Amino acid sequence: MNYTERIEGYQIMDVTYIGLPPKDTPPKYDIVKWAVADPPYEALDFISGKRKMVTEYCYTVGMLVWNRKEPCFEFESCGLRWLEEKPPEAVVDMVLKFAEEKAKELEMEDD
């Protein structure tokens, strides 16, 4: 599921697992960056099992991980990608707004 619109090529979405997520995994959200596939290429769609042309792709630059003990989100960069990508202020604002709104939902669920 995509939780935000793309802002300057960045988006917040569900973490994609191959199979089921590990047991007791806290809620996690991927912060991804979209890029154009140049040239486009054919790939297998894991969900449908059919081949399709890929014209764009995304990769994780960071994650928001829910900490039930605090309760708050913790930010994790994927290696140094967050720093290497130097996301613009609008993207940082998007992440902070999402974290604030989602934290309210998760706090209510944990009560």
- 49-102 pLDDT per residue, tens: 899 999 999 999 999 999 999 899 999 999 999 999 999 999 999 999 999 999
Write out pLDDT tens, residues 3-18. Answer: 999 999 999 999 988 7
| Short-list 44, 32, 25, 42, CA closest to 3 | 32
Contact between 82 and 92 under an 8 Å Cβ cutoff? The reply is: no
pLDDT tier, 111 (very low <50, low <70, confident <90, very high otherwise): low
Residue 56, pLDDT score: 95
pLDDT score of 19 more than 90:
no
Residue 22, pLDDT score: 86
Domain ranges of the chain: 10-110
